[in-house]
Structure 1
Amino acid sequence: MRNMNITKRIGIHLVLMLLIVWAAACDNGKEQAGQVQSDSASSTATTSDGSRQQTEGTDRKPGNEKVGSPEQKRSYTHNFGTIEVSATPKRIVGIYMDDFLLALGVKPLTQTMYGKRHLPYLQDRIGDLPVISPGGINLELILEENPDLILLAYPTYAQEGRYELFSKIAPTYVFTGEDNWRQTLLTVADVIGKPEQAESWLNEYERKVAAARDSLKKAIGDETVMFIRFTRAERIQIYGGPSNFSADVLYQDLGLKPSELVKKLAWGEENSAPVISAELISQFDADHIFITYDTPTNEDAQEFKNHPLWRNIPAVKKGNLHEVEMFHWMNDGPIANSMKVDDVLKALLK
């Protein structure tokens, strides 16, 4: 184990006794993959002249303040408290924040698991790092990594006294999961002292999607699109909008047109990803259907692919069914979204 203040280590190991209670609580919680969002809580930063700046929620524009020397501390207030961080923390644990950190050129100390599986779309960037499962977070592993900063994607990871456990290891910032991914990226970049990298990444992404919109408009015009997730026979979801981690890319960034069924069943803030029954398959009216399978080789998935209703809908008969990889389509980080754009272009620019 790396060198660490003995008193701090003893205190942390004592609170680790609470892990039994914590693990039981985590197992009962809903595993959240994707849709990583940012904190709408207020934040304050110390500027180079020593003054304080404070803004509320998504009105905050991270990166506007000037980062000073490495010794300078900046404070950030979120829903669980206030933290102080150095200008550029080096050792960072980010639970379900891997995508955001890697987009900013920062390799975290650990990698987040999706259930019991790695996130394959990040493996070439993240390598063989120690794994963290949100369903039962190993605090002792995090302690051994000796981080300067911990980022938690969702409040559920910090509730029921768990925030205090994280805070005994390192300053911990908790996101609310409510803001869009662009704001999340800006907030992460601000907290870790890399605002320029976030602005650069977003500018490049906007150039990419602007070019993609033009190409897609020429290729398919007003043809409609829908996105479906197949988890198991009794859990088929149709994803709508106007905002979630597929709609943001399909219908906002790329300007594609949702089908009438999408707008009827899955449009609105309250129910943008309803579970539907197989009986509705015959009503699938989109010109192009993107579909992802949680486990494409299992028996349920194979039966679904061979379902007579499924095989006879217009998009399938025309060869406009596009299978996409679940892990990045069900995540909402900047890298995942950029890969979705690539998938759409590959599918629709024939």
Structure 2
Amino acid sequence: LENLEKVAPVYITHFGDTPDKQLSNIANLLNKKAEKEKWDKDYAASSKEAKATLKDAGVANEKAAVIQFYGKEIYVHDAKVFDGLYSGAGFTPTDAAKANKETKAISSEAIPEYAAGADRLFILMPADGNTDSVDEMLKGVWKDIPAVKKNQVYKVDNTKWSDYSAAAQLYQMEDAVKQITGK
């Protein structure tokens, strides 16, 4: 850290701060409060539009779950990581997703319980693009998940969805709407 401080001012975000808190801290640090307020207004407008678009498509009051393939593991995260999907687009986390407050590896056999009640399932795909193991699980151990039965499974960009930032939350919201409605 000392070597970096010799080159330029250094700001370290606090682990656990929400993306909104991180953005507020940086805006305050850079004296960009007006830009942060504009971001908030624009995000609120985008959220309202996303919810309206989904409602027009017959999607309202639905539960969703998100799982991540990373390396050789499957992970679940605190629902706040996917706030763009939940608060932004208006989905409700499944009970297990709501109860989970950490990032943790989970077995493929535990996914049906985690995703129980999910109308929609969002899968952050492996970075290598290999969908074989995902497709195999969707046809096998996950076939009784409501979202799978209804063919409401969405394979999404791992990097863009898992970047815990304000920009990622906007992307999650917009991508969920696009994945579901094509708009």
What TM-score bracket applies, with the shorter chain setting the length? 0.7 to 0.9
| Equivalent pair of 2:123/2:156 in contact (CA under 8 Å) | yes
Q: Matched residues in 1 for 2:5 and 2:112: separation?
A: 52
Larger helix percent? 2
Structure 2 counterpart of 1:210, one-letter code: K
Among candidates 40, 60, 63, match of residue 224 of structure 1: 63
Alpha-carbon spacing, 1:261–1:191, altered in 2? closer, same or farther (3 Å): closer
SS in 2 for 1:332: coil
TM-fit CA distance, 1:306? 1.4
TM-score for both structures, normalised by structure 1 = 0.46
CA distance in 2, matches of 1:259, 1:296: 28
1:290 partner amino acid: F
Q: TM-score, normalised by structure 2?
A: 0.82
Name the SS for the 2:141 alignment partner: helix
The 3 A distance-change label for structure 1 pair 240 and 348 is farther
Structure 2 CA distance for aligned equivalents of residues 336 and 262 of structure 1: 19
Pairing of 1:135-214 with structure 2 (within 5 A): 163-214=1-52
Partner of 2:153: 321
Q: How does 1:58-97 map to 2 (within 5 A)?
A: none
Structure 2: runs of 5 or more not aligned: none
Structure-2 separation of matches of 1:171 and 1:304: 44
How far residue 228 of structure 1 moved from its aligned partner, in angstroms, is 0.6
Equivalent positions of 1:47-66 (< 5 A) are none
**How many angstroms does 1:280 deviate by?**
1.9
Structure richer in strand, relative to its length: 1
Structure number, greater radius of gyration:
1
Structure-to-structure mapping, 1:1-350, within 5 angstroms: 163-217=1-55, 219-233=58-72, 235-241=73-79, 243=80, 245-246=81-82, 248-263=83-98, 267-268=99-100, 271-283=101-113, 284-285=115-116, 286-298=118-130, 301-307=131-137, 308-349=140-181
Query: What is the root-mean-square deviation in Å for CA atoms of aligned residues?
Result: 2.3
- 1 CA distance for matches of 2:76 and 2:5? 39
Query: Counterparts of 1:280 and 1:178 in 2: how far apart (Å)?
Result: 26
Cα distance, 1:174–1:348 mapped onto 2, change above 3 Å: same
Between 1 and 2, higher relative CO (CA 8 Å, sep ≥ 6) is seen in 2
Distance 1:303 1:184 in 2: 35
Instruction: Note the residue ranges of structure 1 that are not aligned, 5 or more in a row.
Output: 1-162
CA distance in 2, matches of 1:295, 1:313: 24
Tell me the distance in 2 between the aligned counterparts of 1:215 and 1:262.
24
Q: 1:317 to 1:194 in 2, by over 3 A?
A: same
Is the 1:230–1:236 Cα contact (8 Å) retained in structure 2? yes
Mapped contact 1:328–1:337 kept (Cα < 8 A): no
SS where residue 159 of structure 2 aligns?
A: helix
Q: Aligned pair in 2 of structure 1 residues 228, 171: CA closer, same or farther (>3 Å)?
A: same
Q: Determine the C-alpha separation between the residues in 2 that align with 1:178 and 1:304.
A: 30
